[in-house]
Amino acid sequence: MKKSLILTFFILTAIFAQDKIWIFFTDKCLPPDKSLVDSIARMTLSERAIRRREKLNIPFDEYDVPVCKAYIDSIKRLGYNIVNVSRWLNAVSVIPPQRQSISLSSLSFVRKTQPVARFRQRITPIKTMERVSRIRYWGQSMLQAMMVGADIMHQRGYRGRGVLIGMLDSGYKIDVPPFDSLVASGRLVAKYDFVHHDTSVGYDSINGDWDPMGFVHGTMTLSCIAADIPDQIMGIAPEASIALAKTEIVDSVIEPGGVVDYERRIEEDNWVAGIEWLDSIGVDIVTSSLGYTYFTTDGWGYSFSDLDGNTAVTTIAADLAAKKGIAVFNSAGNQRMDYSWGHIVTPADGDSVCAVGAVNGFYELAPFSSPGPTADGRIKPDLSALGDNAVVWQPFTNSVGFSDGTSFSCPIVAATAALVLQALRDKGFTTHGWELIELMKSTADMADSPNNDYGWGVPKAPVAAGILDAIYILVVDSISGQPLTNAVVIVNDDTLFTDGRGRATKYISEEGIYNIKASCNGFLSKTITINHRRGRIHRIAVKLT
């Protein structure tokens, strides 16, 4: 048995080490009048996906029609091994035969070919849990919840119920305590492994998995959304329904001196297949904690000029998902200090994708969080959340831990969107995915001055959902214009302190007069008075001299 497993390991490693290529087709074998598009599309989508399209008045189109079977069969007969099929790209990813009897360019139905991009990224080390204060119910995860207003949303009964979130990651360990309620309630609606092509998204050596570390990263990102152990760790949307796609491989790497390290091997065709599958089952939100930058020498490379929102394969697929009504969130990346790159990653460059950056507990920019802009000059990231010392579930120790990365700020923001979406639906609103993202951006705490570090700032769920209004306060030095951190801000009888950006947020619900007094050591205090009316957001800059 042991020899059999070892042999399987080497065979599968050899298969997945082969270079894959994309083959893009010219058409989908439809009649000229496209009369069959609607009926064919309905056969390929779930009832939930169809309902989402109908509610949002999104028509079915050729992107919903499967790739022409005759073309796929022709490619197979030439000896190509089909790996993934993309109806959105009208393409297949394949492993070519060792000897090609005919050139693909000579086939009339082949539009173009290109290599499948691969990217290797080291796994972020998991930190040991330090002693931090706990608050009942939220446990260790209180800070990341309060920063986005999830604590208020939960108090009002909004915990993500009825919202389906799809995840793209490297694997997931489901049989751990924080996900007991997710599984028991039947809210884990679907799962699929696009690396090994089975429904086991954890480590399953019997079915040929060779990446025993694969489930660690995905388990941690999932815990940011769905963890449910009161007084220890709570996800932002613990009552949301979840669909899991495993799209990444985790390989072992032998460092000098024999030290074993691990890295994620990301292949873009798996990601594309995953997001199309999530669309077909009807997800409302997609969160992806991966990204593509430069690639291995045996793959297809992108340069910064390709981050224009229209070039990278994953970006094209992400934008198409957004057109289908899905709110797509992707990590901005951890490449700020990577001097060979230093930008956001794809598909975060998509104009319909919400790229998520990372801050620490003082709202200061995380040193690794990738900056914008895109190649065509658009501001990125779009939003930010806690990603420096984010609280996660660590599957190896089966306990709460810390980790760093936009990999964790992204699911926090996506789960925040689920709370907002639930609240909007309860009010009778029908909201397109991109409208949801725009709403969160316009009500975030830096929407008055977005930039290529924080984007539009940290989202505030109660404000985006219309449950509470807000006064956003910025305290600055009147001479230098620099923000003043740890300044005291008194709003009527409540005392606040500015964060690492010189900002403070006061949620309000009552109409009337609000006096805002700001003071800081070495400066004269200043008071500003506003007259609040329901439904307004106040953005106030207090300049101290």
pLDDT digits (tens, 9 = 90+) for 401-460: 999 999 999 999 999 999 999 999 999 999 999 999 999 999 999 999 999 999 999 999
Instruction: Read off the pLDDT of each residue in 386-405 and give the average, rounded to a whole number.
Output: 93
Beta-strand pair 469-477/399-403: unpaired
pLDDT at position 485 is: 97
pLDDT digits (tens, 9 = 90+) for 320-356: 999 999 999 999 988 888 777 888 988 999 999 999 9
**Number of other CB atoms surrounding residue 149 within 10 Å:** 26
Given a cut of 80, is residue 69 above it in pLDDT?
Answer: yes
- The DSSP-derived string for 302-370 is --GGGTTTTSSHHHHHHHHHHHTT-EEEEE--S-TT-TT--S--BTTT-TTEEEEEEE-TTSPBPTTPP
Domain residue spans of the chain: 120-464, 469-544
CA separation, residue 415 to residues 34, 276, 369, 491 (Å): 38, 20, 20, 30
Do 126 and 403 contact (CB within 8 A), yes or no?
yes
Instruction: Read off the pLDDT of each residue in 115-124 and give the average, rounded to a whole number.
Output: 68
Given a cut of 60, is residue 123 above it in pLDDT?
Answer: no
pLDDT at position 396 is: 83
pLDDT at position 210 is: 66
Q: Which of 292, 249, 313, 291 is nearest to 115 (CA)?
A: 313
- The DSSP-derived string for 238-255 is TTSEEEEEE-EEEEEEE-
Determine the Cα–Cα distance for residues 373 and 545; give it in Å rounded to an integer. Answer: 33
> pLDDT band at residue 362, thresholds of 50, 70 and 90?
very high
> pLDDT band at residue 300, thresholds of 50, 70 and 90?
low
Sequence-separated (6 or more) residues with CB below 8 Å from residue 267: 20, 116, 117, 118, 247, 248, 249
Mean pLDDT is lowest, of 59-68, 214-223, 300-309, 434-443, for 300-309
- Report percent pLDDT > 90 for the chain: 73
Instruction: Read off the pLDDT of each residue in 95-113 and give the average, rounded to a whole number.
Output: 88
pTM of the model: 0.91
Q: Residue 35 gets which letter from DSSP?
A: T
Select the CATH number that applies to the domain covering 120-464 from these four: 1.20.870.10, 1.10.533.10, 3.10.20.70, 3.40.50.200.
Answer: 3.40.50.200
* 469-544 is a CATH 3.30.390.50 domain: no
Do 403 and 124 contact (CB within 8 A), yes or no?
yes
pLDDT digits (tens, 9 = 90+) for 156-177: 999 999 999 999 998 999 999 9
Rounded to the nearest integer, the mean pLDDT of the chain is 89
Where is pLDDT greater, at 257 or 227? 227
pLDDT digits (tens, 9 = 90+) for 472-518: 999 999 999 999 999 999 999 999 999 999 999 999 999 999 999 99
Question: Which burial class, exposed, middle or buried, applies to 306 when counting CB atoms under 10 A from its CB (0-12, 13-18, 19+)?
Answer: middle
Q: Which of 132, 97, 123, 121 is nearest to 23 (CA)?
A: 97
pLDDT at position 299 is: 46
Per the listing, tokens 């022709």 go with 74
Where is pLDDT greater, at 34 or 230? 230
pLDDT at position 358 is: 98
Given a cut of 90, is residue 369 above it in pLDDT?
Answer: yes
Instruction: Read off the pLDDT of each residue in 39-61 and give the average, rounded to a whole number.
Output: 93
pLDDT at position 261 is: 45
Determine the Cα–Cα distance for residues 249 and 118; give it in Å rounded to an integer. Answer: 11
Determine the Cα–Cα distance for residues 527 and 416; give it in Å rounded to an integer. Answer: 33
Specify the 3-state DSSP secondary structure of 279. Answer: helix
Instruction: Read off the pLDDT of each residue in 211-218 and give the average, rounded to a whole number.
Output: 81
66's tokens: 């499967």
Where is pLDDT greater, at 137 or 529? 529
Mean pLDDT is lowest, of 132-136, 251-255, 533-537, for 251-255
pLDDT at position 239 is: 98
User: Which amino acid is present at 368?
Assistant: F
Given a cut of 90, is residue 294 above it in pLDDT?
Answer: no
